[in-house]
Chains A and B, each alone.
Chain A
Amino acid sequence: MSFFGFDTSGPPKADKDLQTLDFEDTYEGLGEHPEEEEDAFNDETFGADIKTGRDFDFGTAQPQAQHLSYAQAAQKPIVEDVLKPMASLWSDQTVPEQQPQRAPTSGPKVLSLEEIEAQLMGRPVQPPQMMQPQMYGQNGYPFIMPPNVNPQQFQQFQQQFGGQLPPGFMFPPQGYPGQPPMFMPGMPNQQGIPPQLQQQHLHQFQQAQAQQAQQVPAQFQVQHGQPQGPPQVQQVQQQQQQQQQQAQPVHPQAQAQAQAPIPAPAPQPQAPAQPAETQAQAPAQTPAPSQPQSAPRAQASSNGQKLPLDEFPVLGSASVREHPTQPAQQQSYQQRQYSQHSQNPQYLQNPQNRGRIQRPRQDLTPEEREKLIIRSNKVARITRSSGFMTPRDKDFVTRFQLSQIVSQDPFNEDFYHQIFKILRNPGGGAEDMSYIAQKYLDQSGHRLGGKNRRADVALQRMQQQISKAVTVAKERGERTGTLAREGALGKVSIGSIRQPRKQLVVKRSENATEDELKQLNRNPAKISKFTRQAQLNIIEKVYSILLGLETLEREAKPISTEELFEALHVLDVVSDEEEHPFISLLGYEKGMRLFSRCFHLLTPDQKNACLLCLFGNLQKLNVVLRGSYKNYETSNFVIPEAVEKKINVFQMTVMKTLVLYISEASFEQVLRFIIELESSNSVLFVCTSKIGLSLITVLISRLELIKQESNANLSEAELEAWSLTYDKLFANLEERLVLIYPPTLSSSKSASFKPDDDSYIWQFLASVALAGKLQHQRVIVDEVRDEIFGIMGKARVLSEEGNSLDSAKFIGNLNLFLNVMGLKASETDISEL
């Protein structure tokens, strides 16, 4: 068997003159002795490592016994503790052992160092062997380096060897720095040796055997009848284990020898194991300050040797078994190990290691192999920095990032985003933890749990982290603000998405705050309710109340609109000269939008009050007041663009809301509105504005609709009241009906051919005609006859010009009115339907 390319069959070919020892040559055939059959209890009687077939002359056979012990140990089974030699047989053995040592030791001692040096220099071809001498020095030459030699000497010895290592030499790269502690704790005591160490000894022994075969003079070996060449590996291993076990009883002796006057070391063959043991244990147990160099080197080399490569995946898989439920952790653990290897290029260059990385493809052509190397190098480069963070670190970073993003109350703190999503993507707006997690996974681009599988598991983990993150963020939110220090301008604050770190926080004393607030409050009190500032203030106040209510509404919580109604100032009583605050709100575009948003929240009573207020002050309404053409006599009755825009917004927001509400209001309600309108406004003025006219149209139409639909349900009094109101209204307009036509639209006064926007006038006339009796209709037609014929004339011209579309539009608008009376207009004449 060869390990790391070491040739166990014999000495290197370079030293041809050294005698080659062959197993067959040295084997004495002892195992074939017939009487072996009756040796069943020899082990118990004599111990395992006693050379059979020889006398027990330990004095002369000492160096040989060292080797014999290994060979004989192989005969013993591994479960050997019980098979210790009888104490009585061995107790007095130490005495003869110690005496004759000197003779054999002196020879090899001088030679060995130089010889090893020479071999080291002469054989660069076999790198695995090069680190052996160190071990060899400890093991193979027990007499040179006994366990009780003083540390300085030992260190010096090792340094010598260290200096002889070729400069480019490196120890096998899988020096798992984190791993020795992993098995070291498993050692029961100093003598107990983990399996890895036993392997180490195995190899040491192999080396020792081979080298000794070269170096020890042949006659010396022959004289002592060294019977075995390099034994078979398994045998050796067994021997080794046995040796370890036997080393224990010997150890105290070695200690005792340390005090002996003679520096001669332990004669026992087991003794050499001691330095190796202590050596290997040193890094794990004590820092071993006296051996600063030797300790790490021994560790590295022993790692390189003793850890068979095949054990690597076993270690990894052991961790897999430990954490079967944590695939990510396992993955990263293996990755980390891999990256450690990949950081060391030698690991990849080592064919065995490469074979592991690409284990399934071991039989490859050179080109494929080349590709494989390139690829694995690439992988190594990519993964060079991977595995620096433990799963814990990653979790921490993820949580930290999430805590910035995630909020407990997304509708409050991430309002725009949340609502926007609902608006743009109705139905899919349900925002939950999994969405955030998914989003985060998408954005950060890291997939927990691999490519496709386990995405759900990863999501779950993320969700757990999110809930953790929310907690963290919440706690931090409570903490912030408490760090402000008295007298300091700034404060220690942690920025978050919701509370960006403030550059400057000035802490005001409590008393000053109250005073300042009073000061601040005094000023608004002076501001008139009727200034623009006050009106805008009202709107903002309503807005903030509204937003609060809408949040409650979203959460399906009960709403109280009292505050909102109060803020609208609907019930305020003001003098005639002053503008009603509620009406003034509707003068601003955002006020109009605000009205349509908060109207549906109000209770029916509050809605009613709003509309009464609105109709009661209709002529003061901005869009009516400014929207009347009468204001613009100087500018040819053209309504300014800004006002036009406001009117449009009003139509889109407030009018829409009002029409919707009125179309479902009761007869009585609508009647009240129109009475209110009539009694407190100049109906004629209101009618000169588009909005005013439209509102009156809506009211009249609704009343007529209810009246015709459910005549029986209406009381006489109501019908009477409506009839009176209508008469009053009509009396207001009678003989001045033409005024409702803005000069810009009046077909009789203006040459405008714009077909737009006169429909509201015809609608108004239609509703008035509908509600009126025949005599009313006749009056109306009489008064607007010029307009009717003007429109017909325009339509005719347009039609002749080929613009039949606009022509038809004019006629269509006109017919809105005429149809009510059973008439129908064309471009040329008016006929009955």
Chain B
Amino acid sequence: MLFFSFFRTLVDQELKNGIEVKGFLKSMDQYLNLKLDNISMITDEVKFPQLVAVRNLFIRGSMVRYIHLNPQSISTDLLQDASRRGK
């Protein structure tokens, strides 16, 4: 599965989910559940005060809307190849 294979390479990447969290990708599984470490909130902390003190997160894969990635850590050619193979 391409996504899994892809995200496996993205350890230490910056991610944001629905509430927009930024952190280091610790690990993930085949359901694209994510484990983040050293997280910080991107959306204002007044809105989600309960997350201010949280340092690491487990996010259920189905709850993630977007994952923003650092372009430098992605090989687009390889990603294209991998997508082609995914058929």
Q: What are the nearest 4 A-B pairs in CB distance?
A: A416-B82, A497-B30, A417-B5, A416-B5
List the A side residues contacting B79 at CB < 8 Å.
416
Query: 10 A–B contact pairs at CB < 8 A?
Result: A405-B29, A412-B85, A413-B5, A415-B85, A419-B78, A424-B9, A443-B27, A497-B4, A498-B1, A499-B1
| B-side interface mostly | helix
| Given known A416-B2, A417-B9, A547-B84, contact A404–B78 (CB-CB < 8 A) | no
List the A side residues contacting B8 at CB < 8 Å.
414, 417
List the B side residues contacting A804 at CB < 8 Å.
none
User: A492-507 vs B: 1/0 string, CB under 8 Å?
Assistant: 0001111110000000
| Given known A404-B30, A415-B85, A540-B84, contact A420–B78 (CB-CB < 8 A) | yes
Q: Is B81 an interface residue (CB 8 A)?
A: yes
Q: For this complex, into which size category does the number of interface residues on chain B fall?
A: 20 to 34
Q: Judging by beta carbons under 8 Å apart, are B6 and A416 in contact?
A: yes
List the A side residues contacting B1 at CB < 8 Å.
413, 497-500
List the A side residues contacting B84 at CB < 8 Å.
540, 543-544, 547
Q: Interface residues, chain B, CB within 8 Å of chain A? A: 1-2, 4-6, 8-9, 27, 29-30, 75, 77-82, 84-85, 87
List the B side residues contacting A495 at CB < 8 Å.
30
List the B side residues contacting A498 at CB < 8 Å.
1
Q: Is A87 an interface residue (CB 8 A)?
A: no
Given contacts A420-B78, A499-B1, 8 further A-B pairs with CB under 8 A are A415-B82, A416-B6, A417-B8, A419-B75, A423-B75, A495-B30, A500-B30, A540-B84
Q: Is A354 an interface residue (CB 8 A)?
A: no
Q: For this complex, into which size category does the number of interface residues on chain A fall?
A: 20 to 34
Q: Judging by beta carbons under 8 Å apart, are B30 and A416 in contact?
A: no
Q: Is A384 an interface residue (CB 8 A)?
A: no
Q: Interface residues, chain A, CB within 8 Å of chain B? A: 404-405, 412-421, 423-424, 443, 495-500, 540, 543-544, 547, 590, 593
Chain A nearest CB: distance from B44 CB in Å?
Answer: 33
Q: Judging by beta carbons under 8 Å apart, are B77 and A416 in contact?
A: no
Considering the complex, give the chain A residue whose CB is closest to the CB of B83.
Answer: A416
- Whole-angstrom distance between the alpha carbons of A53 and B80 in the complex? 106
- Whole-angstrom distance between the alpha carbons of A524 and B6 in the complex? 33
Q: Judging by beta carbons under 8 Å apart, are B27 and A417 in contact?
A: no
- Whole-angstrom distance between the alpha carbons of A423 and B79 in the complex? 13
Name, among B2, B79, B80, B81, the residue most crowded by chain A CB atoms within 10 Å (CB to CB): B81
Chain A nearest CB: distance from B70 CB in Å?
Answer: 14
Considering the complex, give the chain A residue whose CB is closest to the CB of B29.
Answer: A404
Q: Judging by beta carbons under 8 Å apart, are B85 and A420 in contact?
A: no
Within the complex, which residue of B27, B29, B78, B87 is in contact with A416, where a contact is CB–CB below 8 Å? B78
List the B side residues contacting A540 at CB < 8 Å.
84
List the B side residues contacting A499 at CB < 8 Å.
1
Q: Judging by beta carbons under 8 Å apart, are A420 and B75 in contact?
A: yes
- Whole-angstrom distance between the alpha carbons of A417 and B5 in the complex? 5
- Whole-angstrom distance between the alpha carbons of A495 and B29 in the complex? 13
List the A side residues contacting B85 at CB < 8 Å.
412, 415, 547
- Whole-angstrom distance between the alpha carbons of A498 and B29 in the complex? 12
Considering the complex, give the chain A residue whose CB is closest to the CB of B9.
Answer: A420
Name, among B2, B5, B77, the residue most crowded by chain A CB atoms within 10 Å (CB to CB): B5
Chain A nearest CB: distance from B3 CB in Å?
Answer: 9
List the B side residues contacting A420 at CB < 8 Å.
9, 75, 78
List the B side residues contacting A412 at CB < 8 Å.
85
Q: Judging by beta carbons under 8 Å apart, are A496 and B30 in contact?
A: yes
